[in-house]
Amino acid sequence: MNAALPGPQWIAGVDEAGRGPLAGPVVAAAVILDPDHPITGLADSKVLTAGQREELAAQIRELALCWALGKAEVEEIDRLNILRATLLAMRRAVEGLSRQPAMVLVDGTHTPDIACPSRAIVRGDATVAAISAASILAKVARDQEMLRLDNCYPGYGFARHKGYPTRAHIDALERLGVCPIHRRSFSPVRRLVK
């Protein structure tokens, strides 16, 4: 009698972009890489140039077995807090995958509430290829979103600083006031909300 062969043991990598900014959503990505189509150059998105990230993101979208994005909007960040909103975005990304992973590896110290086993790996974006891939997709997607929002809310410099609390962003906040995509629960914004 033949025993049933186990199905594929797909591993998804998960990471996010946008926890620290004062504006815009937090975006997460989940990626299941194809072992038959390795991608050279995967690394933590923070150590790559914008051009390298764009090039790798295109390869990931083409060669991965599957990938998905999830995000939590500003209203959710303000209502839940940034950690819980990040985990929500991660859960949405995993649930968006077209294949059910056997395991989910997440960059950091927390894992989202999902149906399959998961494990948090500190600095996983630098050591696990699937997490690196997720890091790159999340960063590219969030940067594109902030470029779009820069057109909607000119004067804040979102295209340059992507919502992070740079001096230029703080100056623009003080000059122009708070706009709809600012996170009102973050103290530099909260103190300016009338």
Q: What is the pLDDT of residues 37-56, one digit of tens each?
A: 999 999 999 999 999 999 99
21 within 8 A of 162, measured Cβ to Cβ: yes
Give the right CATH number for 11-142 from 3.40.50.720, 2.60.260.20, 3.50.50.60, 3.30.420.10.
Answer: 3.30.420.10
Provide the pLDDT confidence category of residue 29 given band limits of 50, 70 and 90. very high
Q: For 81-102, what is each residue's pLDDT tens digit?
A: 999 999 999 999 999 999 999 9
The SS3 call for residue 69 is strand
Of the listed ranges 42-46, 57-61, 132-136, the one predicted with least confidence = 42-46
* Interacting residues of 114 by C-beta distance below 8 A, sequence separation 6+: 91, 94, 95, 104
Q: Are strands 11-17 and 118-121 parallel, antiparallel or unpaired?
A: unpaired
Domain limits, the chain = 11-142
Token pair 């979103």 is found at: 145
* Six-digit token string for 35: 């072992």
pLDDT, tens digit (0-9, with 9 covering 90-100), for 175-189: 999 999 999 999 999
Q: Which is it for the CA torsion 177, 179, 182, 183, positive or negative?
A: positive
For residue 146, CA distances in Å to 14, 107, 153 come to 21, 23, 10
Q: Please return the burial class of 88, using the count of CB atoms within 10 Å of its CB with bins 0-12, 13-18 and 19+.
A: buried
